[in-house]
Amino acid sequence: MNVQLFLLVVLALIVLTLALAVPVQAAEKDLSKGGKILLLGDSILDSHQGNARVENVMQKQFTVMKPGVKFEVVNLARGGMWIGPADPGAAQGISKPLFDSPTTGWYFEVLKRCPKADAIVILFGGNDSKVYPPEEFYKKLSDLCDRLAKDYPQAKIFLATGMCLDPRHSGGYWIQPSQVKGFKQGDNRNAYLLPYYVRTRELAKMRGFALADLCERVQAETKADNWDLRMRSDNTLDASKDAEHPGDMGWFSNIHANYKGTAVIADLLVKAILGMDPLKTFPKADSAK
Protein backbone atom coordinates (compact mmCIF):
# COMPACT_ATOMS: atom_id res chain seq x y z
CA MET A 1 0.00 0.00 0.00
CA ASN A 2 1.53 3.32 -1.03
CA VAL A 3 1.70 6.22 1.41
CA GLN A 4 -1.08 8.21 -0.26
CA LEU A 5 -3.53 5.31 -0.18
CA PHE A 6 -2.61 4.56 3.44
CA LEU A 7 -3.36 8.16 4.46
CA LEU A 8 -6.72 8.05 2.67
CA VAL A 9 -7.67 4.87 4.53
CA VAL A 10 -6.66 6.39 7.88
CA LEU A 11 -8.65 9.55 7.10
CA ALA A 12 -11.70 7.51 6.17
CA LEU A 13 -11.49 5.57 9.44
CA ILE A 14 -11.23 8.80 11.44
CA VAL A 15 -14.28 10.28 9.70
CA LEU A 16 -16.24 7.06 10.30
CA THR A 17 -15.28 7.03 13.99
CA LEU A 18 -16.37 10.65 14.48
CA ALA A 19 -19.65 10.00 12.68
CA LEU A 20 -20.44 7.04 14.91
CA ALA A 21 -19.64 9.09 18.03
CA VAL A 22 -22.25 11.77 17.27
CA PRO A 23 -25.89 10.86 17.97
CA VAL A 24 -27.91 10.97 14.76
CA GLN A 25 -31.53 12.05 15.03
CA ALA A 26 -34.22 10.58 12.85
CA ALA A 27 -36.54 12.77 10.80
CA GLU A 28 -38.52 15.08 13.06
CA LYS A 29 -42.31 15.09 13.05
CA ASP A 30 -44.17 18.07 11.64
CA LEU A 31 -45.31 19.58 14.94
CA SER A 32 -47.98 21.69 13.29
CA LYS A 33 -49.87 18.40 12.93
CA GLY A 34 -49.74 17.65 16.66
CA GLY A 35 -47.62 15.44 18.85
CA LYS A 36 -46.41 14.68 22.36
CA ILE A 37 -44.46 17.44 24.08
CA LEU A 38 -42.17 16.58 27.00
CA LEU A 39 -41.19 19.33 29.46
CA LEU A 40 -37.96 18.90 31.45
CA GLY A 41 -36.66 21.47 33.88
CA ASP A 42 -37.05 23.07 37.28
CA SER A 43 -39.70 25.03 39.19
CA ILE A 44 -40.13 27.56 36.39
CA LEU A 45 -42.07 24.74 34.70
CA ASP A 46 -43.29 23.14 37.94
CA SER A 47 -45.48 25.74 39.63
CA HIS A 48 -49.15 26.08 40.59
CA GLN A 49 -51.89 23.48 40.61
CA GLY A 50 -54.58 22.17 38.29
CA ASN A 51 -55.56 24.31 35.32
CA ALA A 52 -52.97 26.93 36.25
CA ARG A 53 -50.01 24.63 35.60
CA VAL A 54 -48.05 25.47 32.47
CA GLU A 55 -48.79 22.17 30.71
CA ASN A 56 -52.53 22.74 31.09
CA VAL A 57 -52.28 26.34 29.90
CA MET A 58 -50.31 25.07 26.90
CA GLN A 59 -52.95 22.42 26.16
CA LYS A 60 -55.62 25.11 26.15
CA GLN A 61 -53.60 27.35 23.85
CA PHE A 62 -52.88 24.50 21.42
CA THR A 63 -56.64 23.89 21.24
CA VAL A 64 -57.25 27.55 20.40
CA MET A 65 -54.43 27.87 17.88
CA LYS A 66 -54.78 24.42 16.30
CA PRO A 67 -58.41 23.33 16.72
CA GLY A 68 -58.92 19.67 15.97
CA VAL A 69 -55.19 18.87 16.18
CA LYS A 70 -54.12 16.56 19.00
CA PHE A 71 -51.33 17.68 21.31
CA GLU A 72 -50.30 16.08 24.58
CA VAL A 73 -48.05 17.99 26.99
CA VAL A 74 -46.26 15.83 29.56
CA ASN A 75 -44.65 17.89 32.31
CA LEU A 76 -41.90 16.02 34.17
CA ALA A 77 -40.08 19.12 35.40
CA ARG A 78 -39.42 19.18 39.14
CA GLY A 79 -38.96 22.13 41.49
CA GLY A 80 -35.37 22.56 42.68
CA MET A 81 -34.00 20.26 39.99
CA TRP A 82 -30.64 20.71 38.27
CA ILE A 83 -28.89 18.55 35.70
CA GLY A 84 -26.02 16.95 37.63
CA PRO A 85 -24.35 14.72 38.48
CA ALA A 86 -22.12 16.78 40.74
CA ASP A 87 -21.35 17.38 44.37
CA PRO A 88 -23.76 20.20 45.36
CA GLY A 89 -21.54 21.22 48.26
CA ALA A 90 -23.16 23.95 50.37
CA ALA A 91 -25.74 24.91 47.74
CA GLN A 92 -29.09 26.02 49.14
CA GLY A 93 -32.56 25.90 47.60
CA ILE A 94 -32.06 22.88 45.37
CA SER A 95 -33.50 19.37 45.34
CA LYS A 96 -32.46 16.19 43.56
CA PRO A 97 -30.59 16.43 40.25
CA LEU A 98 -31.79 14.96 36.97
CA PHE A 99 -28.81 12.59 37.19
CA ASP A 100 -27.60 11.26 40.55
CA SER A 101 -24.98 9.38 38.54
CA PRO A 102 -24.56 8.56 34.85
CA THR A 103 -26.92 5.59 35.34
CA THR A 104 -29.29 6.69 38.13
CA GLY A 105 -31.67 9.55 38.83
CA TRP A 106 -34.95 11.15 37.76
CA TYR A 107 -33.93 11.02 34.09
CA PHE A 108 -34.46 7.27 34.03
CA GLU A 109 -37.90 7.68 35.60
CA VAL A 110 -38.67 10.14 32.81
CA LEU A 111 -37.82 7.45 30.25
CA LYS A 112 -40.29 5.09 31.92
CA ARG A 113 -43.09 7.65 32.25
CA CYS A 114 -42.66 9.13 28.79
CA PRO A 115 -40.84 6.67 26.52
CA LYS A 116 -41.74 8.57 23.34
CA ALA A 117 -41.92 12.28 22.51
CA ASP A 118 -42.08 14.42 19.39
CA ALA A 119 -40.65 17.53 21.05
CA ILE A 120 -38.67 18.09 24.24
CA VAL A 121 -38.43 21.44 26.01
CA ILE A 122 -35.38 21.75 28.29
CA LEU A 123 -35.29 24.57 30.82
CA PHE A 124 -32.45 24.41 33.33
CA GLY A 125 -29.98 26.91 34.75
CA GLY A 126 -31.53 28.48 37.84
CA ASN A 127 -30.60 25.71 40.24
CA ASP A 128 -27.54 24.66 38.26
CA SER A 129 -26.21 28.16 38.96
CA LYS A 130 -26.03 27.22 42.64
CA VAL A 131 -23.92 24.11 42.01
CA TYR A 132 -21.42 24.72 39.18
CA PRO A 133 -20.16 27.58 36.98
CA PRO A 134 -21.60 28.47 33.56
CA GLU A 135 -18.87 26.59 31.66
CA GLU A 136 -19.69 23.34 33.44
CA PHE A 137 -23.41 23.95 32.96
CA TYR A 138 -22.78 24.22 29.21
CA LYS A 139 -21.10 20.81 29.17
CA LYS A 140 -23.83 19.16 31.25
CA LEU A 141 -26.56 20.67 29.10
CA SER A 142 -24.75 19.45 25.99
CA ASP A 143 -24.38 15.95 27.46
CA LEU A 144 -28.10 15.94 28.33
CA CYS A 145 -28.99 16.83 24.75
CA ASP A 146 -26.82 13.95 23.54
CA ARG A 147 -28.66 11.55 25.84
CA LEU A 148 -32.02 12.83 24.66
CA ALA A 149 -31.02 12.57 20.99
CA LYS A 150 -30.16 8.94 21.62
CA ASP A 151 -33.21 8.05 23.72
CA TYR A 152 -35.70 10.16 21.70
CA PRO A 153 -34.28 10.06 18.17
CA GLN A 154 -37.41 11.53 16.56
CA ALA A 155 -37.87 14.39 19.02
CA LYS A 156 -37.11 18.00 18.20
CA ILE A 157 -35.15 19.63 21.01
CA PHE A 158 -36.05 23.10 22.28
CA LEU A 159 -33.64 24.81 24.67
CA ALA A 160 -35.22 27.45 26.89
CA THR A 161 -33.71 30.19 28.99
CA GLY A 162 -35.27 31.05 32.35
CA MET A 163 -37.08 33.97 33.95
CA CYS A 164 -35.52 37.34 34.60
CA LEU A 165 -36.43 40.15 36.97
CA ASP A 166 -37.61 43.68 36.28
CA PRO A 167 -34.77 45.79 37.75
CA ARG A 168 -37.34 48.43 38.78
CA HIS A 169 -39.19 45.84 40.85
CA SER A 170 -36.53 43.68 42.47
CA GLY A 171 -33.79 43.89 45.04
CA GLY A 172 -30.27 42.55 45.28
CA TYR A 173 -29.15 38.92 45.22
CA TRP A 174 -26.72 37.23 47.57
CA ILE A 175 -25.42 33.67 47.10
CA GLN A 176 -22.65 31.70 48.80
CA PRO A 177 -20.68 30.22 47.28
CA SER A 178 -20.98 32.18 44.06
CA GLN A 179 -20.43 30.15 40.90
CA VAL A 180 -20.20 33.17 38.60
CA LYS A 181 -16.81 34.81 38.28
CA GLY A 182 -17.00 38.55 38.83
CA PHE A 183 -20.51 38.59 40.30
CA LYS A 184 -20.82 41.26 42.98
CA GLN A 185 -22.93 40.19 45.95
CA GLY A 186 -26.05 42.32 46.17
CA ASP A 187 -26.29 42.99 42.43
CA ASN A 188 -29.49 42.16 40.59
CA ARG A 189 -30.06 38.43 40.13
CA ASN A 190 -30.23 38.90 36.35
CA ALA A 191 -26.48 39.53 36.35
CA TYR A 192 -25.92 36.19 38.08
CA LEU A 193 -28.21 34.15 35.82
CA LEU A 194 -27.33 35.75 32.49
CA PRO A 195 -24.09 33.74 31.96
CA TYR A 196 -26.16 30.53 32.15
CA TYR A 197 -28.70 31.86 29.66
CA VAL A 198 -25.84 32.90 27.36
CA ARG A 199 -24.51 29.34 27.43
CA THR A 200 -27.98 28.00 26.60
CA ARG A 201 -28.19 30.32 23.60
CA GLU A 202 -24.69 29.37 22.49
CA LEU A 203 -25.46 25.66 22.64
CA ALA A 204 -28.72 26.09 20.71
CA LYS A 205 -26.89 28.00 17.98
CA MET A 206 -23.95 25.61 17.78
CA ARG A 207 -26.05 22.44 17.72
CA GLY A 208 -28.92 23.75 15.63
CA PHE A 209 -31.53 23.34 18.37
CA ALA A 210 -34.62 25.51 18.53
CA LEU A 211 -34.48 28.27 21.15
CA ALA A 212 -37.34 29.42 23.36
CA ASP A 213 -35.79 32.52 24.91
CA LEU A 214 -37.98 33.15 27.95
CA CYS A 215 -35.54 35.69 29.38
CA GLU A 216 -35.71 37.79 26.24
CA ARG A 217 -39.50 37.47 26.10
CA VAL A 218 -39.91 38.61 29.72
CA GLN A 219 -37.57 41.53 29.07
CA ALA A 220 -39.72 42.53 26.09
CA GLU A 221 -42.89 42.15 28.15
CA THR A 222 -41.38 44.34 30.85
CA LYS A 223 -40.38 46.98 28.31
CA ALA A 224 -44.00 46.96 27.11
CA ASP A 225 -45.06 47.65 30.75
CA ASN A 226 -46.30 44.10 31.29
CA TRP A 227 -43.87 43.56 34.15
CA ASP A 228 -46.16 41.97 36.76
CA LEU A 229 -45.38 38.36 35.83
CA ARG A 230 -43.84 37.00 39.03
CA MET A 231 -44.83 35.84 42.48
CA ARG A 232 -44.04 38.04 45.43
CA SER A 233 -41.52 37.07 48.10
CA ASP A 234 -44.09 35.16 50.18
CA ASN A 235 -45.29 33.25 47.07
CA THR A 236 -48.32 35.54 46.71
CA LEU A 237 -49.57 35.10 43.16
CA ASP A 238 -50.98 38.58 42.57
CA ALA A 239 -50.48 42.18 43.53
CA SER A 240 -53.04 42.20 46.35
CA LYS A 241 -50.47 42.88 49.08
CA ASP A 242 -48.21 45.29 47.18
CA ALA A 243 -49.59 48.33 49.01
CA GLU A 244 -48.37 46.81 52.29
CA HIS A 245 -44.75 46.86 51.06
CA PRO A 246 -43.99 50.42 49.90
CA GLY A 247 -40.37 50.76 48.83
CA ASP A 248 -39.63 47.11 49.59
CA MET A 249 -37.71 45.97 46.51
CA GLY A 250 -37.21 42.54 48.05
CA TRP A 251 -40.96 42.02 47.95
CA PHE A 252 -40.71 41.70 44.18
CA SER A 253 -37.59 39.50 44.00
CA ASN A 254 -39.23 36.08 43.64
CA ILE A 255 -38.23 34.80 40.18
CA HIS A 256 -41.08 32.31 39.83
CA ALA A 257 -43.98 33.07 37.51
CA ASN A 258 -47.41 34.02 38.81
CA TYR A 259 -50.52 33.13 36.78
CA LYS A 260 -49.86 35.90 34.27
CA GLY A 261 -46.22 34.84 33.97
CA THR A 262 -47.28 31.26 33.39
CA ALA A 263 -49.51 32.45 30.54
CA VAL A 264 -46.45 34.14 29.00
CA ILE A 265 -44.33 30.99 29.39
CA ALA A 266 -47.07 28.88 27.77
CA ASP A 267 -47.46 31.36 24.91
CA LEU A 268 -43.70 31.37 24.30
CA LEU A 269 -43.43 27.58 24.24
CA VAL A 270 -46.52 26.97 22.11
CA LYS A 271 -45.41 29.51 19.52
CA ALA A 272 -41.89 28.08 19.45
CA ILE A 273 -43.22 24.54 18.99
CA LEU A 274 -45.56 25.64 16.18
CA GLY A 275 -42.71 27.44 14.41
CA MET A 276 -44.08 30.92 15.11
CA ASP A 277 -42.08 33.87 16.40
CA PRO A 278 -42.37 33.62 20.21
CA LEU A 279 -41.06 37.19 20.65
CA LYS A 280 -43.21 38.96 18.06
CA THR A 281 -46.26 39.94 20.10
CA PHE A 282 -46.63 40.94 23.71
CA PRO A 283 -50.31 40.82 24.69
CA LYS A 284 -51.29 41.68 28.21
CA ALA A 285 -51.19 38.29 29.90
CA ASP A 286 -54.47 37.28 31.51
CA SER A 287 -54.66 34.97 34.48
CA ALA A 288 -54.00 31.34 33.59
CA LYS A 289 -56.75 30.23 35.97
The arithmetic mean of pLDDT across residues 51-68, rounded, is: 96
Judged against a pLDDT cut of 50, whether residue 100 lies above it is answered with yes
Model pLDDT, residue 72: 98
Judged against a pLDDT cut of 70, whether residue 22 lies above it is answered with no
Query: Would you say residue 170 lies in a domain?
Result: yes
Query: Would you say residue 136 lies in a domain?
Result: yes
Query: Would you say residue 22 lies in a domain?
Result: no
Give residue 280's pLDDT band: very low, low, confident or very high (50, 70, 90).
low
The widest CA-to-CA distance across the chain, in whole angstroms, is 85
How many Å from the N-terminal Cα to the C-terminal Cα in the chain?
74
Query: Would you say residue 283 lies in a domain?
Result: no
- What is the span of the domain harbouring residue 238? 29-273
Q: How far apart are CA 81 and CA 101, in angstroms?
A: 14
The arithmetic mean of pLDDT across residues 192-196, rounded, is: 98
CATH number for position 124: 3.40.50.1110
Model pLDDT, residue 162: 98
Model pLDDT, residue 1: 54
Query: Would you say residue 165 lies in a domain?
Result: yes
Distance from CA of residue 72 to its chain's centroid? 18
Query: Would you say residue 109 lies in a domain?
Result: yes
Model pLDDT, residue 239: 86
Judged against a pLDDT cut of 90, whether residue 285 lies above it is answered with no
Of the given ranges (11-15, 47-51, 105-109), which has the lowest mean pLDDT? 11-15
Q: How far apart are CA 275 and CA 244, in angstroms?
A: 43
Model pLDDT, residue 82: 98
pLDDT digits (tens, 9 = 90+) for 248-265: 888 988 999 999 999 999
Model pLDDT, residue 278: 83
Model pLDDT, residue 25: 47
Encoded amino acid at 68, one letter: G
- Tally the domains of the chain: 1
Query: Would you say residue 48 lies in a domain?
Result: yes
Strands 119-123 and 156-160: what pairing? Answer: parallel
Query: Would you say residue 260 lies in a domain?
Result: yes
Own/partner pairs for 133-139, CB < 8 Å, 24+ apart? 133/179, 133/180, 133/181, 134/179, 134/180, 134/195, 134/196, 134/198, 134/199, 135/199, 136/86, 137/83, 137/196, 137/199, 138/199, 138/202, 138/203
